[in-house]
Structure 1
Amino acid sequence: MTENIEVFTQSSIKITDGENHIYIDPLGIKEEFCDADYILITHDHYDHFSPEDIKKVAYENTVLIVPEKMKAKALKEINFINKIESISPNQNKKINNLYIETIPAYNIIKPFHLKISGWVGYILEIGGKRIYIAGDTDKTKEAEAVHCDIAMVPIGGTYTMNAKKAAELINIIQPEVAIPTHYGSIVGNKNDGELFKENVKAPVKVELKLRFN
């Protein structure tokens, strides 16, 4: 059920649904794909909002979707995309043929991602499945209330949950499949994926998809 999901470095994700190519926080893109029907950005930190990488996946009909509080920045820096949409936390929105829900993404104590900033995680309905892309977040009450079939959560610590906290979240929301992100390069190490997997309880299946180069 996850053969249509790819995870590149950090939290750079590509989902293909048969009709659309959807990228979330593209980073470290090595080829000029130019096939993105939608690009979703969770927040404006350099490892999630990279104009250079967005340019590698965008083409003339691409829709860029960003949190409302960074729309002005996106309009200024992404002048090669004609359609830029904004979205806020706790919002349901249909953009063309893509249905999106947003979940607040923030730190509880740490100062790196403040709730007031309006950063988001996304739930996408694709192929009859609800896919949760958490963004940079801790184990918040909003994340604990998510209902999804596939959960993609950060595990590298420092700026987000670490592997054990992320596993605690997964054990609460119990998707069918959990895929860890945001480790092994800028933060965390390559073994965090295995630590996460060890702490996630059955029947949740863990898939390690992140590419390290």
Structure 2
Amino acid sequence: MADLENVRVFTQSAIRIQSEKGTVIYLDPFHLTDGEAAHDADIVLITHAHYDHCSPDDIARVAGKHTELVAPKSMEPEVSGIADAIGAAGLHFMQAGGHLELRGIAIDAVGAYNVEPERLGMHPRANGWLGYVLTVDSVRFYAAGDTDQNPDNEHVVCDVAFVPIGGTYTCDPHQAAAFANTLHPRAVVPIHYGSIVGSMSDFDAFAAEVDPAIRVVRKLEW
């Protein structure tokens, strides 16, 4: 995982990970261009219902008949409709603490929600929205979703963490750095900034406060 060559990060929290055997995983595909409509997804994971994370058009851009969808149990009605529209090969719903083995990838669901008073109504714990820990080629990737550091996610064990830093709806750069330092992965990749919320300069503010023992990797693509 030296340079995370198998990882791409697009707008917001859209992430693509490819295993050594060629299994392609997308999380929250969003604002992908026509040139990125590869229909190469083996697995698409959705963290929550907001339009910049659950985008039917972008899911259709990456999905094919072989694609399996994973989403929070609370999103069953809308995601079932998306699965029917794309002719998905499989559909799986998870709750925090759940575990799934799919296409050789281990998936563990982690609660994603706000605890800061000013954000409590944006991602309530009661919605059952998720982050995911994916074990790919023995590397544990944690995609936190839209969240603050909270009692459910601050004990996650991971090698690589994708942490939102844009503020307003999620951790700001300073809170995200504290979250990363608590998790203490080998590498951290900031997400959810520089587009709908946050600015590109948030990367520098975040990186400056992360423990130097943790490698901060900029993977955002446009």
TM class, shorter-chain normalised? over 0.9
TM-score (norm: length of structure 2): 0.93
Other structure's SS at 2:110 match = strand
Q: How much has 1:93 moved relative to structure 2?
A: 1.6
Could you tell me whether the CA contact under 8 Å between 1:139 and 1:169 is conserved in 2? yes
1:194 aligns with 2:194: no
Task: Work out the CA distance in 2 between the residues paired with 1:147 and 1:120.
Answer: 16
> Which segment drifts farther, 75-84 or 9-18?
75-84
Could you tell me whether the CA contact under 8 Å between 1:39 and 1:64 is conserved in 2? yes
CA shift digits 1:168-209 (9 cap, x unpaired): 011111100000000000000010011110010120000011
Q: Percent identity?
A: 39
CA shift digits 1:74-119 (9 cap, x unpaired): 1123421332111111111212422111110001131100001000
Name the residue aligned to 2:81: 76
Unaligned runs of 5+ residues in structure 1 are none
1:56-205 correspondence to structure 2 within 5 Å: 56-78=61-83, 79-82=85-88, 83-108=90-115, 109=117, 110=119, 111-205=121-215
Q: 1:16 aligns with which of 2, 15, 18?
A: 18
Aligned length, in residue pairs: 212
Could you tell me whether the CA contact under 8 Å between 1:7 and 1:210 is conserved in 2? yes
Unaligned runs of 5+ residues in structure 2 are none
Other structure's SS at 2:74 match = helix
Paired residue type of 1:97: G
Q: How much has 1:64 moved relative to structure 2?
A: 0.7
Task: Work out the CA distance in 2 between the residues paired with 1:51 and 1:27.
Answer: 9
Task: Work out the CA distance in 2 between the residues paired with 1:198 and 1:143.
Answer: 23
Q: Which ranges of 4 or more aligned residues in structure 1 deviate by more than 4 Å?
A: none
